[in-house]
Chains A and B, each alone.
Chain A
Amino acid sequence: MVKPKVQIENLRLSYGPKEVIHGISFDIEPNEILGIIGPAQSGKTSLLRCINRTIEFTAGAKPTGTIRVDGEDIAKMRNVYELRRRVGMVAPLPVGLPLSIYDNVAFAPRAAGMKKKSELDTLVEKCLTQAALWDEVKDRLDSLGTKLSGGQQQRLTIARALSHSPEILCLDEFSIAIDPVTTMRIEDVLKVLKKEMTIILVTNLVQQARRLAARTMFLWNGEIIELGPTEQLFGDKPKDKRTYDYVNGIFG
């Protein structure tokens, strides 16, 4: 039995008086791609933000329960910035920081104290290559990240998330701003990255979860309806009828 990478126990989250995640528990195995599917407002993004503790920046958000990364309770971690470097996050809408392309990718390593130009150069090239962006921008690394197209900015965002060598990579609907061809290229990258890190893939494209994830979780209204091998959820006989309806697009 492999030790789980992330253990979530009875996680509840409320914004003010409104509870949006109602006590969910599950484990994430190391080096797996876990797909999370579910309609809007089901708590997918909130769940991810609990894992890297950026939920703390939302006024009134109050998570309870335990989240462990490598067995360590994240609520008790003193160095929350270290946690956020270990848990990479890609938001649904691309955010190019108002810096050059190079500085966008070098931002996190610099914030963590890396100064050597040669190390930064290597890292920037590696991350941009992994995010399938290097060939398009290698001649203009000095131009502004905000001037890139939406799809390019999204890949820049992915490169930035990879720049601090996360152990866990959370992708929150990363493909809504990218064309299908680029999406496929990044999906190929994810299959390779799986060897180095654990990937949590929140997606509205149920077929994307099917292509990439070994296990998939169906989250609905802050509760886990079903969590199991992807083929089980997408097969003819998932455990819960709602899963069948959702993945086949006949959800009411």
Chain B
Amino acid sequence: MSAHTDITPQATFAETPFTRKKRTQELIAKCFFGGMAALMVIPLIYIIVHVVAQGWQSLSWDFLTTNPRLGGAKGGIWSVIVGTLYIVTFSLCVSAPIGVLAAVYLNEYAKESWFTRIVNLAVVNLAGVPSIVHGLFGLGAFVYAAGMGKSILAASLTLAIMTLPVIIASTKEALAAVPRQFREACWNVGATRWQTIRRIVLPNSISGILTGVILQVSRAAGETAPVMITGVAVFKAVEGTGLFLYDPFREQCMALSMHLYFIATQASNVAPSLPFAIATVMIVLVLAVNATAIAFRSWLRSRKKW
């Protein structure tokens, strides 16, 4: 028997102390990283279960569809939900078009220069400014200087300023994900930049752009600090339960985030389950918006073409 016959397949693939050690390491690493990932889920589940369980008693169809009474201590939250919808919708109408168009300019047209460097610097720094500072800016600029007074308009514009830099950053990222070779192929056959953007770049980045925008919607819906000093009232009695409850240019409104803060900390004679019921509505609204974003994105991704 010559020596090389020892190397049979069985011998090659047999377990040795070395491979066993490797396998154990692999198992430990997998469990450890998996555990860290699972850790993320626990607070989320706890929050939802806790909030829903505590707020369950106050939740009802009437709660959702009637307006608050007695400073919010009694009645429902319909006008509060509508107020949040107003503020978020108006701010989105301002920040989404400006943000997306600015990002298209920065990513597709602008050449590297001192101007684009300043704009990019401004975007990054604005995104890092605390929301209360945005609120103070809105108070000075929109409420006083522009003479809007405390109003839905001023609050919406403040939120728009707050979400704008993040929308610009996420849109730029989505645009940059479209390979540059596609653009060059278009330019090579004599297409203008705009033709390239319209036919190739935008159709292939729209899912990323919309995801970024929608995530900012849920962020705007949850903010308290910037809106409480620019246009959201602690309590405002309104007539009726339709969708058109407020005059956005003159009136203040109520909003879920502010209402929750007030009911939870300032109001007296409030049922203990009430703040949790409001929180439940907020969570459900934000999760619904995010779920829409995720579903929409996966639908658009399935149509992605490379």
Binding site for B on A (CB under 8 A): 52, 54, 57, 59, 81-85, 88-89, 91, 93, 95-99, 107-108, 111-112, 144, 146, 157, 160-161, 163-164
Contact = CB atoms under 8 A, between A and B. Distances in A.
A91 B192 contact: no
Nearest to B304: A98
B85 to A, nearest CB: 36
B205 to A, nearest CB: 11
Given A59-B111, A59-B112, A97-B186, A111 B181 contact: no
Contacts of B183: 57
Contact residues of B: prevailing secondary structure: helix
A52 B199 contact: no
9 smallest CB-CB distances across A and B, nearest first, come from A98-B305, A108-B189, A85-B190, A84-B190, A89-B188, A95-B185, A146-B306, A81-B190, A111-B191
7 contacts: A54-B187, A85-B189, A95-B184, A95-B185, A97-B200, A161-B189, A163-B189
Nearest to A89: B188
A107 B186 contact: yes
B184 to A, nearest CB: 7
Contacts of B190: 81-85, 108, 111-112, 164
Contacts of B189: 84-85, 88-89, 107-108, 111, 160-161, 163-164
A114 to B, nearest CB: 12
Contacts of A91: 181, 184-185, 188
A163 B189 CA distance: 9
Interface residues of B, number: 22
Contacts of A85: 189-190
B39 to A, nearest CB: 39
B19 interface: no
Interface string B78-111: 0000000000000000000000000000000001
Interface of B: 111-112, 181-192, 195, 199-200, 203-204, 304-306
Given A107-B186, A161-B189, A98 B306 contact: yes
Contacts of B200: 97-99
B272 to A, nearest CB: 56
Nearest to B193: A57
Contacts of A107: 186, 189, 191, 199
A144 B305 contact: yes
Contacts of A97: 182, 185-186, 200
A81 B192 contact: yes
Nearest to B306: A146
Contacts of A88: 188-189
Nearest to A79: B190
Which one of B185, B188, B199, B304 has the greatest number of beta carbons of chain A within 10 Å? B188
A134 to B, nearest CB: 19
B54 to A, nearest CB: 50
Given A59-B112, A81-B192, A93-B181, A99 B305 contact: yes
Contacts of B192: 81, 111
